[in-house]
Structure 1
Amino acid sequence: MNDLTYRPLSEADRPLFATNDAHAFVMDLVDVEYWLANNLVGDLRGLYTGGQLVAQLVIIPFTVMTGGVDLPLGGIAGVATPPEHRRRGYVEQMLLAACREMRERGMALCMLHPFKASFYRQFGWGTCQERRLYSGSPELFRGFLKQQRGQFVPAGEGDIAELNAIYTGALRGRFGPLVRDEAWWKKDVLVYNKKPRYAYIWRDESGRGRSYVVYRWDKRADGLAMSIREIVALDPEARTQLFAFLANHDSQCSQVRFLAPADAPVNLLLPNPLKCEVEPYFMLRLLDVAKALADYRYPREANGTLSLAVRDSWLAENQGVYRIEVADGAAQVTRLADTAEADITCDVAVLAQLYSRYARPRTAAAFGLLEAPDRAALALLEAM
């Protein structure tokens, strides 16, 4: 593979990029072309051999909330290879080059939505989020109707600042939500398949917006469904109003469908539970372990020092032993000699799962995902 070249996509290859993506993701070519022309496309990259495009992807620069600080993150999308060039290792080589590019651009983190988790797991990505798909009749929410107050008002592009304030306030403290700009709201959240979604904000008696819902109608074999893109509330009362809003559609649709974080106890709030399906979601990779650990914000009660050995043979720049000194919510990270003894050892994919709080250190140790002979160090890592 010495003749492989990774570089920005040439303008002449954009039609081929669209054709490859349409084939790989079973989309109409016109829809891919529309996406390339109008949506929030990032940096198109290709892997070439002999001047021929053999693999492609998109790098999308994001900023991600981590619970304490917002950090730059590289998103990867549109990974595709034409059928005649598959199973030759091209995607791996392209991913490695893309990871090194993002690392050089100051992105210590990379997220993607995998077509197959095991494929990306071998290259150091770890599942960092799960989500739950809830579905059921709007009649299941009837009990919330008697608690209605305030008012729902239609929302659109002129209300993006208010929508974003609710979104940011409700999700602050979690790992993974993306920081959104106005364009993202306009082109991704409020629009589906070139058509506007419905959006409503609930405002209390003082006029303050405290929750919102964004949805579309979906004609399914079992009837009309309200397919909800987002349902977000700042507090329990604001959530109650959203549930009442859903109940008010009992004469219009047979089903409501929405996604929620895996730890959101939706069915605990209902007298009769909704159907719930749990599915893996995004995967995270640490592109620069030292920078990622140093940029993170830690609980202020976590104070101490531990040494961490990270296995990462694929992106070898990361492999090594690190001393992490945590105090007052910040960490000082020092690279040690590779022969230094470590309190804790794990591979980079497991570290990504700890970093995102998808897995807890004690649980990971109990299941053999990390080695932690030093109990005090494990306790400190748990506190971090």
Structure 2
Amino acid sequence: MNPYETRLAVADEAEALARLSSESFGYPRADGTPRPPDAAGRRTWVTTHHGRVVAAVVDRPYESWFWGSRVRTSGIASVKVALEHRGNGLLSTLFERALTTAAHDGAAISTLFPTAPGIYRRFGYELIGSYDEVTLPTADLTAVRTCGGSIRRAEARDMRAVRDLYARWAAAHNGPLTRDGASFPATDEEVMDEYAGVTLALDDEGTPTGYAMWSRTGGYHADGVLEVDDLVAVTEQGLRRLLHALGTCATVAPATVICTSSPDLTELVVPSHPWRVKRANPYGLAVLDVAQALTDRTYPTWLDLDVTFSVSGLPVAGQDGAYHLRVADGHASVDQVASAELAYTARGLALRYAGTHSSSDLRRAGLLTGSTDDDDRWDAAFGGRRVHIRDYF
């Protein structure tokens, strides 16, 4: 009889999951009652061995911005296997259950932060970007020239404007989460309480054009650090105003840490280039539902695309196969067909969807084979937007 069982976690396994997280990730054991495995915004799958929890995966329902559209996303987090049970294929069953259920519930793609990307490539994931903590001397920000506008401290009543600014910025990129739902603060006051300060940039008419959410650590001597968890601007004026304002902390916080994805526009306006990655968190994507992923997004209205392709190695059963993609008037239709000459691997389709690599790149990596006749059209349909990640989960 198989001693392993994979299923949804139950409430009284919260303590066992907390212990497994502590030993897997080095987290200190928190005081008080551990978070329930079915807490809002979380669905926890576990594998037990003779009734003891030895592996787990958490599925977090999100929406991500891709190609100007909101795409339902399964965010995989807290992947862990007890040391004595590694190498027994437990993750294969956990991912099969988690991703199949997520796709059934409407997720078109899945994303995660892999500590070892190679482990997850067999499930169709490939790296599309990175959420990084970058550090630079705070004094260098004072050299950023301003060009009008002003700044002020944000209040709770400004949070609607802050959310709108983030949505405008995020919708212009591939990858950012929409920041809706149970995984994000529900009220404006909760957002404000997470940071020492939220600074708002305004244009000459007083309209918000950007914001910085920041905190201070390390005291006010050489170890002082200004931590900028979120820096968003929709105009050059707003970006310059915010960076210059942050630079005024140089005497008490010699180092600034910004959470962002590279390349960041900050690099284009800071005169020096002392940018250093303090901690990198690579981000991976897998396609769960081919037709939904391709039809949920919009396309350039001038694009006319009529192609067939196949894909293999996708993590959800029934998704491998050949497809006909037709794009016209900014929208797509997708149908399954018998065969196709052009062939993507699951990882190749993930990179294609994110828009991070050209057809020639995918071919050189062995992730795309077949006729090259439509390569330019594929590149036109899936190019032009930068991947940016601004939330870690």
TM-score (norm 2): 0.86
Q: For the Cα contact (< 8 Å) 1:134–1:274, is it kept in 2?
A: no
Relative distance call for 1:32 and 1:379 in structure 2 (3 A) is farther
Per chain length, whose mean CA-contact separation is higher, i.e. which structure has more relative contact order (CA < 8 Å, sep 6+)?
2
2:354 to 353, 356, 362: 356
Q: In 2, distance between residues paired with 1:94 and 1:33?
A: 26
Percent same amino acid at aligned positions?
20
Q: In 1, distance between residues paired with 2:140 and 2:52?
A: 56
| SS of residue in 1 equivalent to 2:54 | strand
Relative distance call for 1:40 and 1:148 in structure 2 (3 A) is farther
Which residue of structure 2 aligns with residue 263 of structure 1? Answer: 263
Q: For the Cα contact (< 8 Å) 1:145–1:247, is it kept in 2?
A: no
Relative distance call for 1:35 and 1:188 in structure 2 (3 A) is farther
Alpha-carbon deviation of 1:134? 3.3
Q: In 1, distance between residues paired with 2:133 and 2:244?
A: 19
| SS of residue in 1 equivalent to 2:76 | strand
Relative distance call for 1:31 and 1:324 in structure 2 (3 A) is farther
Which residue of structure 2 aligns with residue 381 of structure 1? Answer: 378
Is residue 99 of structure 1 aligned with residue 86 of structure 2?
no
Which letter maps to 1:323? H
Q: In 2, distance between residues paired with 1:132 and 1:94?
A: 28
| SS of residue in 2 equivalent to 1:282 | strand
Q: In 2, distance between residues paired with 1:314 and 1:65?
A: 22
Which residue of structure 1 aligns with residue 305 of structure 2? Answer: 304
Alpha-carbon deviation of 1:198? 2.4
Which residue of structure 2 aligns with residue 216 of structure 1? Answer: 215
Post-superposition CA distance 1:240-266 (Å, at most 9, x none): 101111221122211111133323343
Post-superposition CA distance 1:303-357 (Å, at most 9, x none): 12111110116544221111111111211111112xx232x21211111111011
Alpha-carbon deviation of 1:153? 1.4
Q: In 1, distance between residues paired with 2:294 and 2:235?
A: 31
Relative distance call for 1:76 and 1:14 in structure 2 (3 A) is same
Q: For the Cα contact (< 8 Å) 2:306–2:326, is it kept in 1?
A: yes
Which letter maps to 1:230? D
Q: In 1, distance between residues paired with 2:39 and 2:180?
A: 13
Is residue 333 of structure 1 aligned with residue 331 of structure 2?
no
Q: Map 1:1-384 onto structure 2 (within 5 A).
A: 2=2, 4-30=4-30, 41-131=41-131, 133-144=133-144, 147=147, 149-156=149-156, 158-181=157-180, 184-186=183-185, 196-219=195-218, 223-277=223-277, 279=280, 281-312=282-313, 314-337=315-338, 340-342=339-341, 344-375=342-373, 377-384=374-381
Q: In 2, distance between residues paired with 1:224 and 1:274?
A: 18
Relative distance call for 1:359 and 1:189 in structure 2 (3 A) is farther
Which residue of structure 1 aligns with residue 390 of structure 2? Answer: none
Q: For the Cα contact (< 8 Å) 1:162–1:209, is it kept in 2?
A: yes
Q: For the Cα contact (< 8 Å) 2:287–2:314, is it kept in 1?
A: no
Q: For the Cα contact (< 8 Å) 1:40–1:187, is it kept in 2?
A: no
Which letter maps to 2:260? A
- Structural RMSD (CA): 2.9
Q: In 1, distance between residues paired with 2:379 and 2:24?
A: 41
Relative distance call for 1:254 and 1:147 in structure 2 (3 A) is same
Which letter maps to 2:137? S
Higher helix fraction (1 or 2): 1
Q: For the Cα contact (< 8 Å) 1:132–1:276, is it kept in 2?
A: no
